Every structure is written in structure tokens, then in C-alpha cells.
Chains A and B, each alone.
Chain A
């Protein structure tokens, strides 16, 4: 069987908050189901491979975010892979980069990759803290729990849909959180967002590999306990 290829885009520029966690969670959950996995880390001086199944993008400061965007535009590989139906999951700065524009250093508007119909700018306050959001029922994923740390405000246009509605925290800034279109999904939950959201991890895996068998309960136990603990800590009933 051809291994599932996870491509981590630019860990040299876009990795500030434990972004490796998303790679590790996808890898573990695929392997537990008997799927062979291959992880490819692509630095900003390398070409983006076209044959990945799931592409991952992490967070970054203003300057690296702008540099990474320019390099991905010039490379073109990510656009081509997504055009062929690859899955793309991006958090925080990576999420903003997927849109039509975002606020760079000194709040200059920077043209994004145009893979999602979103526009981001800089808000008045930094959003820092736990976030909880109810996911679009069409995605069939339990509520999101995570940590956000950004100053971005994002508006989702008609060709994309918000991933969720915030129950706690700021997200996009208008009561919604994240955005998706086809198999491209971005979120303000930063860093290892999939750790507390195994349902979202499985959604990405199923987009890439088709329907998945459930995991044995003991393999899920710790992640579920962590999820329940964090939801209880912010007084939102566990789901």
C-alpha cells in the first residue's frame, strides 16, 4: 500500500508553538489504523513536493509569515497539490496566509495564497487564551477546544465557510472561528490544535484516505480525558 504522505510546510519559518504536534497526532492515528505513514519536512529553501496527501502549515511571526507566503507563491507546488485534491490544514499565521490578504509587519496588507476566501487584518487587542467552538454540523466533528494567541481579525467570504461558532474566545473576531473550502481548512487554534481535537484529525485523515475504522477506546482514553479536563476547566460541559 502506498504510504500516506504528510508534508509539513516550512518548519524553519512556520513553527512557533508546538506545531509538530499536528504531524505527530495524524501520524499516530493513521498508524493505529494500520495505515503506513511517511512524514516529509520541507524547509523554505526546498521545493514543495506535489505528491503529498495532507499538507500542514504552522504559526509564525509577522516577518517569517510574509517570507513564507512569498516563497510558497513563487514555488507554486502547494497550489498545484491542492488543485489535485490534497488536504491542507493550517493554524494561526498559516491560516491567515491561505486567504486573499493578511496584515503583515507594520500592518501593511500582504497578498495571501488565495486558497481560502478569507481576508485578515490586525485587531485592536491580542486574543490570548482558551477557545471553545461549536463546529459546522456539516463537518460532523465534536466541539473544538484549544488555545489561541493572535491579533488577527478574519472575515470569511462567500466561497468559504466558517469551521465553527465560538462559545469561548475570539476566533475570527465575529463569533465565528476558522474557515474551510473543499479539503482546505484553517483555524486560529494554534500549535498542536489536533491534540485536543481528535475528531478534527480524523476528518483530515478521512478526506485523504477515505472512511476510517474507529480506534480501540484505550488508544483514545488519554486524549479524551485531556479534552474533558480542558473543557471542564473553562466551565463548558464536556461533549
Chain B
């Protein structure tokens, strides 16, 4: 295939738009303002509002959405599709709205495949614009509610959009009742039992509102007939069971139950593209860190591991990933725009399991977190910065769990290692 095939097929205005947008992205990168994907996309779209549709035409696209795990799963799916031996476009830096998707496609004009992380709110518009071959629905839970849509409303919008996209296969987590309800509007669904650790947003039936019967990962409504759909891919412990019933160990480099769930979803997507599961799994095992998450950094002789989680469900999973005591833990919370300006969510997380280890508290909203830990009777010390944390930890290891901008601030201090 000609390297410029997709681009040369674009109308002249769209071609100009990708060129100007690309130039703006380069300027933005050189000026040190991030990776430039958002500004490049915005300028391109201003010149050609249909740019995303034009760029998507003729490609096989996977959209990945959900409250948590979008970036990691996008990375894992991209890895799992590499055995196809074809170029894959992806928004690896997490710019997941229209401009970010546009930029990812315009940077890889020849890529016949694209795996695109997509913000939850934008799924209806992006499904319409890109006519995806696969849409991945991971999970849905409360997140940054000062600006995000309410989740029952969001599930309804997903459902309507997917019911309207007959050519699209949905790969969805059957263990999350809201996700299952959203996906069940689609014509073709691959159901994955990816588990659900956080349940406080799904005690009630998304269809009729009655209290759900829940046993293990199974769920069913007592009042209407709505229930968990039969699954074809299953995560159980560290194993994946494929649709033929065969179990294989996952043995990922990435830590935690949530990432094992993301990996099983990636295997289901790879299978939909005809990739052999053994080959796909080999690629997944090679992924060691994703956009700085799970990275180890040495600071003054202390091995620091960085974990990112942005909302109660994410923190719940991340607390499971922490190294066991006595490894000290630094928790850090900000409440800037990208974090959500409201810290109420801190009260949805149960911190009691942190009792009995050294806990340090940082970030711009450390007082909010301090009052929260006090209520859970978890002893802690407040710190002004990462070096004070390293000093007080007085340990060869330190696990850091931070929300979005707090994570980025620490990453900037520690230096990007990726």
C-alpha cells in the first residue's frame, strides 16, 4: 500500500487541514506545550469540520471507552494487534476528544488500523464520525461529577448511539450492569466477564431501577427480566478463558486485577481481528508501563513507583496494587480542572486497609485527604513535596498513588523516563 494512500485520497481542503494542523502540533511540541496533538487537531478541524470522518474513511477503527482503564486498554489492544503486521494509528498520549482522535489519524495517514481512546461523553459523536469496526466498553462509574455527565444518562446515550451503528461490533464487560445495558442495544456484542470491583454505582437495575440481585459476578433483576448476558471471554484469577473454554495464564508485566481485566478485553478485540490468542498474549506481556503509569524511578536511593487513579473505582483498584506493608505509601490529591474541582469522591473510598503502614499525604488538596484519613483512623504525615516524602519514608521503596494533575506534577519532578 502506498504510504500516503489515505492522505492522497482526501479532498484538497482536508489535506491542507492535516498539513496546517500538523505544523501547529510541531510548533506546540517545540514550545514544550505537551505533545501538540490537541492544538494540531483543533486547527485541522477549524479548517475542515468533517476532517475526522474524512480521515477515518477506509480504515478499521477501534474506539475504547469507559471510566477507567481507557489509556492502558488502548495501549494493550494496539500491542495485541501488532501480529497483523500493519501500521496502527493511536492517540497514545490520552488526548481522547475529537481533536485528539483527528490528530492521531492525521499523523498516521497510511495506517489502515486505528485504536483510539475516546472520552465517555464523545462516544455518540465519535461513533457517528468514524464508523468504527469495534467499540470497547470497559466500565462506567462516578467520575469528576462537577463536569462529567451523570452515568445513567451516559449509559442511555451509549445505548442509543450503538443501536444506531449496525456495522459495529461491541466488546463489553458483562459484569458491569450499566455497561451491559448500554451494549445490549448493539447488533453484535462480544461479552467479556472482566469483573467489577467497584459496585457502588450499580446496585440497581439500569432497565427498571429495582435493587439488583448480585451473587459473585452474576447479577439479575428481580422485577424485570433483565440479567447478566452469557459471556464468551472470562477473567478468572490470573487466567483468561477463551470462547472455546481453554484457560491460559496471563502473566502480565502490568500489575493489578484491573489490568488483567483490560488484557482480557484486548484479547477479545484481537480475536475479532483474527489475531491468534497466543500471539496476542505474548505482545500483552511485553507492555511494562503506559504513559508513565507503573513506572519505577529512583530518587535519592529510593525506588519510587507511580500509580495513577482518578476516581473512587480507580482508587479502589489501585489500593489493591500497592506493594504490601511495610512499603510506605504516598497519597496525593489535586482538584484542578482535569481532576474535577470537587473532592467529595475521597469519601467514597475505604482507606482502612492502610492502617498499620507509613502513610504520607501530599498534593494541593492534602487537607481534604487528611480529614478523610482521620475519619478512617489511618495515621499519616502531610508532606510538601516528593523529596520530603522520600525523606520521611526512609525506605528503599515508596509507592505513590496520585490523581491526574498530582501525578503529572510528580512525574515532572522525577523526570519522564519513557
Residues of A within 8 A of B (CB): 11-13, 15-21, 24-25, 28, 43-45, 61-64, 67, 128-129, 147, 149, 190-192, 195, 222-223, 225-226, 229
For chain B, which range describes its interface: under 10, 10 to 19, 20 to 34, or 35 or more residues? Answer: 20 to 34
Q: Which residue of A lies closest to B368 (CB)?
A: A226
Q: Which residue of B lies closest to A12 (CB)?
A: B203
Q: Which residue of B lies closest to A229 (CB)?
A: B367
Q: What 7 A-B pairs are tightest by C-beta distance, nearest first?
A: A18-B347, A191-B344, A12-B203, A21-B347, A18-B344, A45-B211, A67-B209
Q: Which residue of B lies closest to A61 (CB)?
A: B150
Q: Which residue of A lies closest to B142 (CB)?
A: A16
Q: How far is the CA of A169 from the CA of B25 in the complex (A)?
A: 39
By the criterion CB–CB under 8 Å, are B371 and A195 in contact? yes
Q: How far is the CA of A101 from the CA of B147 in the complex (A)?
A: 26
Given contacts A147-B344, A192-B344, A192-B347, contact A63 B209 (CB under 8 A): yes
By the criterion CB–CB under 8 Å, are B145 and A16 in contact? yes
Q: How far is the CA of A62 from the CA of B341 in the complex (A)?
A: 22
By the criterion CB–CB under 8 Å, are A195 and B347 in contact? yes
Q: Nearest chain B CB to A41's CB is how many angstroms away?
A: 11
Ordered by A's residue number, 11 sampled pairs between the chains whose C-beta atoms are within 8 Å are: A12-B204, A16-B201, A61-B151, A62-B152, A63-B209, A67-B204, A129-B146, A147-B343, A149-B145, A192-B344, A226-B371
- B348 at interface, CB cutoff 8 A: yes
Given contacts A43-B203, A195-B347, contact A12 B209 (CB under 8 A): no
Q: Nearest chain A CB to B206's CB is how many angstroms away?
A: 9
Given contacts A190-B344, A225-B367, contact A12 B145 (CB under 8 A): no
Given contacts A192-B347, A229-B367, could you give 6 more A-B pairs where the C-beta distance is less than 8 Å?
A13-B209, A21-B344, A43-B211, A44-B210, A67-B209, A129-B146
Most chain-B CB neighbours within 10 Å: which of A12, A223, A229? A12
Most chain-A CB neighbours within 10 Å: which of B209, B222, B341, B375? B375
Count of inter-chain pairs, beta carbons less than 8 A: 88
Q: Which residues of A contact B343 (CB under 8 A)?
A: 147
By the criterion CB–CB under 8 Å, are B371 and A147 in contact? no
Q: How far is the CA of A226 from the CA of B151 in the complex (A)?
A: 30
Q: Which residue of A lies closest to B150 (CB)?
A: A61
- B238 at interface, CB cutoff 8 A: no
Q: Within residues 270 to 306 of chain B, which ones have a CB less than 8 A from any CB in chain A?
A: none
Given contacts A64-B209, A129-B341, contact A18 B152 (CB under 8 A): no
- B217 at interface, CB cutoff 8 A: no
Q: Which residue of B lies closest to A225 (CB)?
A: B367
By the criterion CB–CB under 8 Å, are B371 and A61 in contact? no
Q: How far is the CA of A21 from the CA of B368 in the complex (A)?
A: 12
Q: How far is the CA of A24 from the CA of B378 in the complex (A)?
A: 14
Q: Which residues of B contact A18 (CB under 8 A)?
A: 344-348
Q: Nearest chain A CB to B190's CB is how many angstroms away?
A: 28
By the criterion CB–CB under 8 Å, are A61 and B153 in contact? yes
Q: Which residue of B lies closest to A130 (CB)?
A: B341
Q: Which residues of A contact B320 (CB under 8 A)?
A: none
Q: How far is the CA of A11 from the CA of B348 in the complex (A)?
A: 11
By the criterion CB–CB under 8 Å, are A20 and B348 in contact? yes
Given contacts A43-B211, A128-B146, A222-B371, contact A13 B344 (CB under 8 A): no
Q: Which residue of A lies closest to B200 (CB)?
A: A15
Given contacts A20-B348, A61-B153, A63-B209, contact A44 B142 (CB under 8 A): no
Q: Within residues 239 to 277 of chain B, which ones have a CB less than 8 A from any CB in chain A?
A: none
| Chain B 297-330 near chain A by CB (<8 Å), digits 1 or 0 | 0000000000000000000000000000000000
Q: Which residues of A contact B376 (CB under 8 A)?
A: 24
- B370 at interface, CB cutoff 8 A: yes
Q: Which residue of A lies closest to B206 (CB)?
A: A63
By the criterion CB–CB under 8 Å, are A44 and B348 in contact? no
Q: Nearest chain B CB to A42's CB is how many angstroms away?
A: 11
Most chain-A CB neighbours within 10 Å: which of B145, B344, B345, B346? B344
- B342 at interface, CB cutoff 8 A: yes
Q: How far is the CA of A190 from the CA of B347 in the complex (A)?
A: 12
Q: How far is the CA of A28 from the CA of B375 in the complex (A)?
A: 7
Q: Which residues of B contact A21 (CB under 8 A)?
A: 344, 347, 372, 375
Residue from the list A12, A17, A226 in contact with B345, Cβ < 8 A: A17
Q: Which residue of B lies closest to A45 (CB)?
A: B211
Given contacts A17-B345, A18-B348, A20-B347, contact A149 B146 (CB under 8 A): yes
Given contacts A45-B210, A190-B344, A191-B344, contact A24 B375 (CB under 8 A): yes
Q: How far is the CA of A21 from the CA of B376 in the complex (A)?
A: 10
By the criterion CB–CB under 8 Å, are B367 and A226 in contact? yes
Q: Which residues of A contact B151 (CB under 8 A)?
A: 61
Q: Which residues of B contact A63 (CB under 8 A)?
A: 152, 209
- B374 at interface, CB cutoff 8 A: yes
By the criterion CB–CB under 8 Å, are A44 and B204 in contact? yes
Q: Which residues of A contact B210 (CB under 8 A)?
A: 44-45
Q: Nearest chain A CB to B182's CB is how many angstroms away?
A: 15
Q: Which residues of A contact B341 (CB under 8 A)?
A: 129, 147
Q: Which residues of A contact B375 (CB under 8 A)?
A: 21, 24-25, 28
Q: Within residues 132 to 154 of chain B, which ones have a CB less than 8 A from any CB in chain A?
A: 142, 145-147, 150-153
By the criterion CB–CB under 8 Å, are B345 and A223 in contact? no
Q: How far is the CA of A12 from the CA of B210 in the complex (A)?
A: 10
Q: Within residues 343 to 380 of chain B, which ones have a CB less than 8 A from any CB in chain A?
A: 343-348, 367-368, 370-372, 374-376
Q: How far is the CA of A147 from the CA of B153 in the complex (A)?
A: 22
Q: Which residue of B lies closest to A24 (CB)?
A: B375
Q: Which residue of A lies closest to B382 (CB)?
A: A222
Q: Which residue of B lies closest to A17 (CB)?
A: B344
Q: Which residues of B contact A43 (CB under 8 A)?
A: 203, 211
Q: Which residue of A lies closest to B222 (CB)?
A: A45
Residue from the list A44, A129, A222 in contact with B367, Cβ < 8 A: A222
Q: Which residues of B contact A25 (CB under 8 A)?
A: 375
Q: Nearest chain A CB to B193's CB is how many angstroms away?
A: 23
Q: Which residues of B contact A62 (CB under 8 A)?
A: 150, 152-153
Q: Which residues of B contact A11 (CB under 8 A)?
A: 200, 203
Q: How far is the CA of A11 from the CA of B202 in the complex (A)?
A: 11
Q: Within residues 206 to 250 of chain B, which ones have a CB less than 8 A from any CB in chain A?
A: 209-211, 222
